[in-house]
Amino acid sequence: MISVARNLWRLTSIARVLAREGAMFPLEASDAGRLLVNALDPLVSPDSRQLRPGQRLAVALQRLGPTFVKFGQALSTRSDLVGEEVAADLSQLQDRLPPFPAADARRIIAEELDRPVEELFSSFEDLPVAAASIAQVHFAVTTEGATVAVKVLRPGVERQFAGDIALFYWLARWAERLMPSFRRLRLVDSVRAFEDSVTMEMDLRFEASAAAEMAENFIDDDSFMIPAIDWQRTAKRVMTLERIAGIPVDEVDAITAAGHDRDQVMAKAASAFFNMVFRDGFFHADMHPGNLFVGERGELIAVDFGITGRVDRQTRRFLGEMLLGFLNGDYRRVAEVHFEAGFVPADKSVDAFTQACRSIAEPILGRPLHEISVARLLGQMFQVTETFAMETQPQLLLLQKSMLLAEGVGRRLDPKVNMWHLARPLIESWMTDNLGPQARVRETVGSLMSSLESLPRLVAQAEKTVEALRSGGLKLHRDSLRGMSSSPRNGIFPAWVPWVLVAILAALLARGG
């Protein structure tokens, strides 16, 4: 009851901010909501009236604090929920907050590393160079003379996030309970994925580990660089890493003036993003211009690994086939991949879904090459979910967001070149290596060898089970026995009988061999 009252109170304060910024427009989908929005209209500030709905929502989320800034960034990938214009406005949501006092930063560093700042750094700049919703960054020089950047977690952010995420879960559960049609959107799963992402982002050891892993993945690639981690000055709420020098990737004139070829820089960005997703299955999920720089040799330098994503091998294969299918206009194959991946229920029509894929892709792919947005294409796919009862795939939402950011970087570098066209040979080569006849043979042999390796262990376990049954030495806990006796029956046998029969049969077969 206390938690319900707390959630309702917090919801009231959120509603006040949304009303003042004119961001209650999502409620206009229902008649009752439209009446409420009209009643609250006098509260809207004059400045907000000049903005688009998505911009008003972005301002409101900024005012509501760190969790809501992160939530707005996650929502920017859900054009199926908020529409393309609002999603585009939310994608511009800046993760910037006023800095917290340097005294707090010094205190947190000393608490986390068990040493005063003066013993760790010969100099420490109190004025932060960046302040975001989760942490802020200070430049420093270690006592060994290395120039570093020190990231410090914002005070109290963990407690605030815990309260906000509890509210999100509460709202998601009620939405799924009151509106069954929302269940296919997997709102609770999406909140859980959001919680996991931000929880990891608030433990700077995880960010340091992600940066180190990605550095290992690119150790032989001098076109993409990740700053080195100072593990001796890194803890849960503090991370110290090599200070880098470079030109922000969106400062095109400065990049050109430094003598770098913009097309080559974009080709490196396309190659790096492709390798992260398809080669490694581990990608930087926040590659906006503020986190990507061009070094003096023309190499790309990435920072801020608080948000990363993973894609398993099977999903990578589906994505590769899907992308090539779209780029080649093979919509039938695109549809088949969705069914094979289980994204679309098997009882739906492949022909109808092929038609839907064509209707989405043709208006986009019919544009000039440099205007094609594959991320927008995936976003459009989410909008047909209701017709085909598709379940939302939370693991792909982060990837779509990353693709949008990567495309944004490419367009800033050269609006006339499409980065996916640059990556196409890489995709085709990867598909040949991973889906060609030789790859299938390797996969089949690997699965067979894995099965053969596990067979002796399974046979040994089965023999032990049979021996225990024979000697009366198989002891079951009384709760297990009670569960067996009360479990639903499958035909005329209790549910546990087939497992015993399998064990006995396996042992007999092994002895007979």
Q: Which two tokens stand for residue 372?
A: 């094609």
Instruction: State the pLDDT at residue 378.
Output: 67
Beta bridge partners of 124: 140
**What is the per-residue pLDDT across 30-47, written as a single tens digit (0 to 9) for each?**
677 778 778 888 888 888
DSSP 198: H
Q: Is 414 helix (H, G, I), strand (E, B) or coil?
A: coil
Does pTM top 0.75 for this prediction?
Answer: no
- Note the pLDDT tens digit of each residue in 290-327: 889 999 999 999 999 988 888 888 888 888 888 778 77
CA count, 13 A, side-chain hemisphere, 223: 12
| Mean pLDDT on 380-391 | 68
How would residue 259 be classed by pLDDT, with cut points 50, 70 and 90?
very high
H, E, C per residue of 418-445: CHHHHHHHHHHHHHHHHHCHHHHHHHHH
pLDDT tens digits, one per residue of 93-112: 767 788 999 999 999 999 99
Cβ atoms within 10 Å of 24's Cβ, excluding its own:
23
Q: Is the pLDDT of residue 59 over 60?
A: yes
Tell me how far the alpha carbon of residue 341 is from its chain's centroid.
19
Element (H, E) at 66: helix 66-75
User: Phi/psi at 312 (nearest 5 deg)?
Assistant: -70, 165
164 is catalytic: no
pLDDT digits (tens, 9 = 90+) for 150-197: 999 999 888 888 888 888 888 888 877 777 766 766 778 878 878 887
Mean pLDDT of the chain: 79
Annotated catalytic residue, options 95, 230, 286, 304: 286
Which residue is associated with the tokens 């997997």? Answer: 186
Domain ranges of the chain: 2-94, 98-131+134-243, 247-435, 456-512
Q: How far apart are CA 106 and CA 124, in angstroms?
A: 9
Per-residue pLDDT tens digits for 431-487: 777 765 555 555 555 555 555 566 566 666 666 665 655 565 555 555 544 544 444
